[in-house]
Structure 1
């Protein structure tokens, strides 16, 4: 029993001596590392805020501004950690090699995710569109509501939210009509009607709608000479979030206006001639 107690006391003594030796030999390094780390955190936070304010001052996109500020802060913290480890005589080379190997494996496994982030970074830098624009990509159209590093969100008139990974945006043909979208329609009138009168009637119908954009005035004219009608085409710009609603109202107004003006809207007709069979 006394021997066991003696062994435990010796163990405690050795541990105590090790702790004392450590603080005697590395006390200044520990204190210095803690001070350097705390100062580094303060400096990293301050420089991060400064970078964010600088980006906001130069009207840089919000997402890109936050990304730059966070990256600057992380880089400074990483450098401070390297300095603190050096105070203890710890070589960071093995850690750098290990981080490199892990990063390579993670990069291969997550290359799809990283490609979205890279594409998002490109979108924010080049700004082919901004929040509030109406864009069309691969027959997908909507109003841009949010641009993130990984994906872009579009909203439709029906309240649907479309999420497009950014890698499917960069490199594709993008149609940007900004806040509005063009409506293209046509109506056929009889060859006996005066097309100039029909064009004027349609223009008056379009002028009744305040929703139509005045920056790009409506266009009305003869589109084609069909078999049984003269096709009058009309184009106008409307807010994207009311595209179908306004289009349906305009079509009804045009139809009623043509009826009121006694302008005939013909329908296809076919004449069939029957011949008597030759007498036997």
Structure 2
């Protein structure tokens, strides 16, 4: 494009004609920047909507959309700098080196982040699920990109790094809809086993926390040093485990007491040998 001819045809002074190519480059660069920002915003917004339609967590969808938006903006800026004669290859290499350095410095946090992305994508649990992880159990109140927050039965807030959640054993009690409790009960020797089985099962059935399906069941589990032992197996909602233990133990004690069946305490019988 002959800017000198264009300038003369427009009647521009020589001083303006001399800088006309620079003015055009600046205007074109501004146009590219504006278009780049608009496209980046539109693409990021569309990606966020698409991910949310596919049930991807809002936090992850927002992060990925923001990441794509800034990558497009960075590409636009590099293109503009290239038009002004900057060596973009060196700039890209510099940015890459900076990215590696930052990645090494934040290695632990990046591990938490990667684990958070895995949780949000593969969904081994979701908010309001009752889980056990890293020695804690409770209801999931928040799933972040770096940490997962639980609220325990003691109303304690526990924040666990996502890498610890993914890297260790994870139990999700909610996926099956119920959790089974084992309540151990010992009665005195001489008690009638069928009677005890019937009493303990009936005691469990009258507890509010015990689910009717699957039905509670009592098993004769062994012969102890001071007692014959039974185990009540009963299901409850995941968040009512402690309530079930309390209710079933209380009901079992009351019903056994009514039936006159003794719950023994540990004892040792010592026989003294006669002296010759």
TM-score bracket, normalised by the shorter chain, equals 0.7 to 0.9
Query: Is contact 2:173–2:238 with CA below 8 Å preserved after alignment?
Result: no
* Residue 134 of structure 1, aligned match among 130, 134, 138: 130
Deviation at 1:215, TM superposition (A): 4.9
Query: Is contact 2:41–2:69 with CA below 8 Å preserved after alignment?
Result: yes
Query: Is contact 2:204–2:232 with CA below 8 Å preserved after alignment?
Result: no
1:106-185 counterparts in 2 under 5 A?
106-178=102-174, 180-185=178-183
Deviation at 1:53, TM superposition (A): 1.5
Deviation at 1:238, TM superposition (A): 3.2
Q: Structure 2 vs 1, CA of residues 22 and 167 (structure 1 numbering), >3 Å: closer, same or farther?
A: farther
Matched, 1:61 2:22: no
SS at match of 1:53: helix
Q: How many residues of Structure 1 are paired with residues of Structure 2 in the alignment?
A: 261
* Residue 45 of structure 1, aligned match among 41, 48, 65: 41
1:72 maps to which residue? 68
Distance 1:239 1:136 in 2: 15
Distance 2:201 2:166 in 1: 40
1:234 maps to which residue? 232
* Residue 270 of structure 1, aligned match among 268, 271, 276: 268
TM-score (norm 2): 0.84
The worse-fitting range, judged by mean Cα deviation, of 188-197 and 158-167 is 188-197
Matched, 1:95 2:91: yes
Deviation per CA, 1:34-59: give whole Å up to 9, x if none: 22222222222222221112112222
Distance 1:29 1:188 in 2: 90
The worse-fitting range, judged by mean Cα deviation, of 120-129 and 105-114 is 120-129
Query: Is contact 2:143–2:149 with CA below 8 Å preserved after alignment?
Result: yes
1:207 maps to which residue? 205
Distance 1:183 1:115 in 2: 35
Matched, 1:36 2:32: yes
2:23 maps to which residue? 27
Distance 1:63 1:214 in 2: 39
Deviation per CA, 1:150-208: give whole Å up to 9, x if none: 11111101111111111212232222212654422211123322222222222222222
Q: Structure 2 vs 1, CA of residues 148 and 216 (structure 1 numbering), >3 Å: closer, same or farther?
A: farther
The alignment yields a C-alpha RMSD, in angstroms, of 2.5
Query: Is contact 1:134–1:180 with CA below 8 Å preserved after alignment?
Result: no
SS at match of 1:169: helix
The worse-fitting range, judged by mean Cα deviation, of 231-240 and 163-172 is 231-240
Deviation per CA, 1:108-136: give whole Å up to 9, x if none: 21111111111211222222222222222
Distance 2:191 2:273 in 1: 34
TM-score (norm 1): 0.83
5+ long unaligned stretches in structure 1: 1-18
Q: Structure 2 vs 1, CA of residues 114 and 233 (structure 1 numbering), >3 Å: closer, same or farther?
A: same
1:184-263 counterparts in 2 under 5 A?
184-263=182-261
